[in-house]
Amino acid sequence: MKLTTALTTLMALGLATGAGAEIRLGASLSASGGAAFLGDPEAKTLEMLVEEVNAAGGINGEEIVLTLYDDGGDPNKARTFATRLVEDDEVVAIIGGTTTGTTMSVLSVAEDEGIPFISLAGAIQIIDPVRDYVFKTPHTDRMACEKIFTDMQTRGISKIGMIAGTDGFGASMEAQCKDVAGDHGIEILVAETYAPQDADMTPQLTKIKATEGVQAVLNPGFGQGPAIVTRNYAQIGLDLPLYQSHGVASDGFIELTGVEAAEGVRLPGTALLIADILEDGDAQKPVVMAYKTAYEAKYGEAVSTFGGYAHDAFRLMVDAIARAGSDDPDEIRDALEETRDLVGTTGIYSFSADDHLGLNLSAFRMLEIRDGAWTSID
């Protein structure tokens, strides 16, 4: 078992470590299983960044040793691995929890043992109520809803139809949107749903089309569903503004829908997605470009928002450890909470005692698809 641990460490690092001082970081990610499309870029990102920081001399001259486990999206395994990270590998901080399920099971270990933990999952319940040792990098569904509704308000839209996926992502965002709609003076006249595997959403869209007074349509969803909605939307000639969620913010979405159907679709996305068209003065531009270039050169595949979450978590952790000047978990935690204006790919983070997400609505960019490409309309 000892040998196993040693091997893992070596593999994660990709090089042999000397006997010098080191900082032990742990991660439990879902690099395989149903959430692999999230966990895989996250794991790759962490491995890449650890190499990068170590090559540049580590943190305050100390090398980072990363122990990375693949929990396959199983909360049970995640919890066991979290215990293993803390008690066996003796890490001083944990990054991970690709999904809300795995995060929630790692979270209780981190809280019990007093180990700072940055989650990469979306749900608001991770940081609300605020827990001493738990932080997270992705923005919440609720913020995506607010961003969309704010944009609708500026366009003078107040009555909308909604069509949501019944998968975890879609259902959660649907509930959050319904919850905040009132605050923005938005009235949801009709709400339809579809199952994640459905191949045709024409009936639901026809019903929305027939509803009197609808000014725009919102589609909280994930995966192929929103692409089908967008295609059907064009097919039945629905001539209202269509809003998608951050769940489809990738180039793959436009490929699925086709350039024509995607024309004019708006959605909230992160700076990473539009790295190439960010203005030169943009605070996030250097960070986003550096990550994008390094990742694409190393792995030969496009960066994703999800890898960006891991990037931000790692940067936050390294920054906190450097400022704490020690690898004591409690001091790292305190330093994390004092993080101010750290520029990441997702947004600019400032934590405080009662905010462990540290992002505001400005982290989202309102994007519109024009001629098959992303344009920022903020």
Partner 1 sequence: MTCRRKWIQISIIAAIMLVLPFFFPSGYYYRVGALVFVNALSVVGLVILVGYAGQISLGHAGFAGIGAYACALAPTHLGLHPAVAILLGALISAALALLIGRPILRLKGYYLGVATLGFGILVSMVLSNERALTGGPDGMSVPDLGLRSLLRDMGWRISGGEFWYGLNAVVLLIGIWIALNLYQSATGRAMRALHGSEVAAQTVGIDVPRIKLQAFVISAVYASVAGSLLALQNGFITPEVAGFMHSVEMVTMAVLGGVGSVLGATLGAAILTLLPQVLTVFAEYEQLVLGLIMVLVMIFLPRGLLPSIVAKLRGRGE
Binding site for partner 1 (CB under 8 A): 1-2, 4, 7-8, 11, 31-32, 69-70, 73-77, 79-81, 83-84, 86-88, 99-101, 104-105, 107-108, 112, 123, 125, 166-168, 171-172, 175
Beta carbon of residue 220, minimum distance to partner 1 (angstroms, whole number): 13
**CB-nearer residue toward partner 1: 88 or 338:** 88
**CB-nearer residue toward partner 1: 80 or 158:** 80
CB count in 10 Å sphere of residue 376 = 16
**CB-nearer residue toward partner 1: 5 or 150:** 5
**CB-nearer residue toward partner 1: 48 or 271:** 48
**CB-nearer residue toward partner 1: 103 or 137:** 103
**CB-nearer residue toward partner 1: 13 or 316:** 13
Beta carbon of residue 278, minimum distance to partner 1 (angstroms, whole number): 33
Beta carbon of residue 331, minimum distance to partner 1 (angstroms, whole number): 23
Beta carbon of residue 162, minimum distance to partner 1 (angstroms, whole number): 16
Structure tokens of 256? 């699925």
**CB-nearer residue toward partner 1: 72 or 344:** 72
**CB-nearer residue toward partner 1: 309 or 374:** 309
Beta carbon of residue 107, minimum distance to partner 1 (angstroms, whole number): 8
Beta carbon of residue 354, minimum distance to partner 1 (angstroms, whole number): 21
Q: How far apart are CA 352 and CA 348, in angstroms?
A: 13
Beta carbon of residue 133, minimum distance to partner 1 (angstroms, whole number): 15
Beta carbon of residue 372, minimum distance to partner 1 (angstroms, whole number): 33
CB 115 within 8 A of CB 91: yes
Dihedral, 67, 311, 334, 88 alpha carbons, nearest 10: -10
